[in-house]
Structure 1
Amino acid sequence: MDIKFPAVETRSSFDVIFPAEVDGAKVICKVSIEALQDYFSAGADGLPAFKAHRAEFEEKAEQKIRSNQFQEDGTILITTMDF
């Protein structure tokens, strides 16, 4: 399984969203703002903390992809429970 993470991220009301490419198919990955605040001292924005710890989030997302832990909508969600 070939997994790549393009250097792109966006912020929604509840998550920081970043893409993965899995064997050429796009998978949306999300980190909850709650996880960013609880474990990485993020402010309301969350993007600076995400960028500072991006490698950790990509590693968590890759683990979830490889173990088929997708949400019902096909996304990968990293929450406080993952740390």
Structure 2
Amino acid sequence: MRVNIAFCVKNLAKGSEKVRQQLIKDPDYNVAEYGCTSFCGICSNFYVAIVNGKPIKAESPDELLDNINDYVDTELFDGM
């Protein structure tokens, strides 16, 4: 299963670029960046990535990476 992960460019500039750099190394992840992901309310207050259409948020870039991996492992792959 291929996992699609999207980032807003403003959120990348805020600090989630570190997370994107880690995720693009994984061949199972299709990582993209957009001008806007339409989650402005949470994007302005948290570090955010959109994973297969679901916003994953965190208080720090490291927490975001952990939350993404947890979501993929528990919600996406456990459901298969």
TM-score by length of 1: 0.33
Higher RCO (C-alpha 8 Å, min separation 6): 2
More helix by share: 2
Question: When the two structures are superposed, what TM-score results if normalisation uses the length of structure 2?
Answer: 0.33
